[in-house]
């Protein structure tokens, strides 16, 4: 495993974590990141470009390509594009969060996701552990709002939801806590970009080696 030398952070900072394959990164990712900074009262956001997604059959494009594209797309002084999971050697989000909380004591992490991910959140490894360890900020994308609000995760943790008006308090809340905000967003998606032939997918990845 590569020696970890991740981004700097100090105790008390509120840092959003946006994970994914970013295969490739696009303006939709940028939109939810900028919204998260303001709506959830975050100091910074880290993009966690993952080695792979165990819920997908085929592996993403090579990591250097995805990192380079993400850094070209996301230009903001309070956003950092990272390969933290590769450096940590973690395969699942729950593992990543535990490792980051150990390495950054006192930092208040918030897990960020699109509403489409909330709809399938119950399929993630140790998803209830994620909810119990960090607040979760959900940003609605077109077409995903109803399925997200009806999801198993939303039902199980319905008593821990902060309203949209309370969203700025999310980073200071004690987990479990989550907030769902509706935003006018771009329809861009990584899948559409790949299907249009504007991006090269990588080789197949063994799911046991993926995040």
For 141-188, write each residue's pLDDT tens digit.
Answer: 666 677 788 899 999 999 999 998 899 999 999 999 999 998 765 555
Contact yes or no for 146/128 (Cβ under 8 A): no
For 195-204, write each residue's pLDDT tens digit.
Answer: 544 434 433 2
Long-range CB contacts (< 8 A, 24+ apart) of 50-53? Answer: 50/19, 50/20, 50/21, 50/85, 50/210, 50/211, 51/85, 51/86, 51/91, 51/205, 51/209, 51/210, 51/211, 52/21, 52/205, 52/207, 52/209, 52/210, 52/211, 53/20, 53/21, 53/210, 53/211
Contact yes or no for 64/35 (Cβ under 8 A): no
Q: ∠ at Cα 131 (97, 92), nearest 5°?
A: 40
At residue 33, the pLDDT reads 95
């Amino acid at each position: 495993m590569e020696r970890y030398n991740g981004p700097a952070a100090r105790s008390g900072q509120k840092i959003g974590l946006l994970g994914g394959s970013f295969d490739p990164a696009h303006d939709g990712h940028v939109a939810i990141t900028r919204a998260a900074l303001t709506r959830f009262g975050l100091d910074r956001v880290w993009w966690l470009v993952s080695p792979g997604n165990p819920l997908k059959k085929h592996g993403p494009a090579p990591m250097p390509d995805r990192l380079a594209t993400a850094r070209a797309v996301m230009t903001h002084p309070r956003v950092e594009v990272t390969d933290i999971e590769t450096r940590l050697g973690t395969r699942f989000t729950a593992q990543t969060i535990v490792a980051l909380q150990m390495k950054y004591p006192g930092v208040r992490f918030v897990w960020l996701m699109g509403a489409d991910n909330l709809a399938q959140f119950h399929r993630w490894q140790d998803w209830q552990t994620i909810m119990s360890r960090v607040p979760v900020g959900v940003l609605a994308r077109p077409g995903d709002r109803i399925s997200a609000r009806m999801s198993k995760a939303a039902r199980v943790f319905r008593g821990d939801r902060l309203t949209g008006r309370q969203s700025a308090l999310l980073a200071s809340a004690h987990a479990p806590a989550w907030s769902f905000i509706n935003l006018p967003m771009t329809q861009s998606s990584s899948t559409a970009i790949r299907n249009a032939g504007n991006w090269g997918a990588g080789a197949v990845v063994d799911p046991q080696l993926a995040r």
